[in-house]
Amino acid sequence: MTLTVGDVAPEFSLPDQDKQVVSLSGLRGAPVLVVFYPFAFSGICTGELCQLRDELVTYTDAGVQVVAISTDPTFSLKAFRAEQGFGFPLLSDFWPHGTTAQAYGVFNERAGMPLRGTFLVDAAGTLVFAEVNQPGDARAQSGWKDAVAQLSAAA
């Protein structure tokens, strides 16, 4: 299943790095940037999430909440977040393995990991930006920023 702009974003309820459950419906009322990444501590993923960390004010100033999702267990996510100082939750799609990534159409069955999927969900729960990059294909974050700027200008 491939999601496109205009689709309703699939609901999820996943534990964060501190085992606190975060749901998309619980974030409703504000836009949410949902960033799927393959693995904590891997080179490209660390670089992408560190850039997101360093530019987080771009999103928070626009009222956008950021969540990052992988199939790593919560223990790994807690260590990864502490090491890198991420100011956004890291959510675990560990079990049932990859269910949320599957719902968003970004689960790589053979590797057991999500692809690099990025989705901007508006305050009502509709996708206003969707992009999927293959393993090893780092994302250009300019597309996300442009979508956030457009959403912010329309508000």
Q: What is the CATH number of the domain that holds 110?
A: 3.40.30.10
> What's residue 139's pLDDT?
84
Q: Categorize the per-residue pLDDT at 1 as very low, low, confident or very high, splitting at 50, 70 and 90.
A: low
Q: Is residue 5 part of a domain?
A: no
Q: What's the domain count of the chain?
A: 1
Residue of 34, 40, 45, 69 marked active site = 45
Residue with tokens 């693995």: 39
Q: Is residue 93 part of a domain?
A: yes
CA gap 150, 23 in Å, rounded: 25
pTM score, whole prediction: 0.95
Q: Is residue 34 part of a domain?
A: yes
The yes-or-no verdict on residue 22 having pLDDT over 70 is: yes
Q: Categorize the per-residue pLDDT at 150 as very low, low, confident or very high, splitting at 50, 70 and 90.
A: confident
For the chain, the average pLDDT equals 94
Q: Is residue 56 part of a domain?
A: yes
Alpha-carbon distances of 121 from 13, 88, 132, 147, rounded to whole Å: 15, 16, 15, 10
Is 45 in the active site? yes
Domain that holds residue 134: 13-154
The yes-or-no verdict on residue 104 having pLDDT over 80 is: yes
